[in-house]
Amino acid sequence: MSKPTVVPCPQCKAEVVWNEDSPFRPFCSKQCQMIDFGEWADEENTIPGAPDMSDSDGWSEDNY
Ligand SMILES: [Zn+2]
Q: Kindly give the confidence (pLDDT) of every residue in the chain, 64 residues in length, as a single tens digit, with 9 standing for 90 and above.
A: 778 899 999 999 999 999 999 999 999 999 999 998 787 666 656 656 766 767 666 665 665 6
Mean pLDDT score of the chain: 81
Q: Is the pTM of this model over 0.85?
A: no
Tell me the C-alpha distance between 51 and 60, whole Å: 11
> Comparing C-alpha atoms, which of 18, 15, 13 is closest to residue 3?
18
- What are the chain's domains? 6-42 (3.30.50.10)
Give residue 55's Cα distance to chain centre.
31
DSSP classification of residue 28: S
Residue 3 Cα, ligand 1 centroid: separation in angstroms?
21
Residue 47 Cα, ligand 1 centroid: separation in angstroms?
30
Is 7 annotated among the ligand-binding residues?
A: no
Is 49 annotated among the ligand-binding residues?
A: no
> Comparing C-alpha atoms, which of 35, 39, 32, 5 is closest to residue 21?
5
> Comparing C-alpha atoms, which of 44, 13, 38 is closest to residue 28?
13
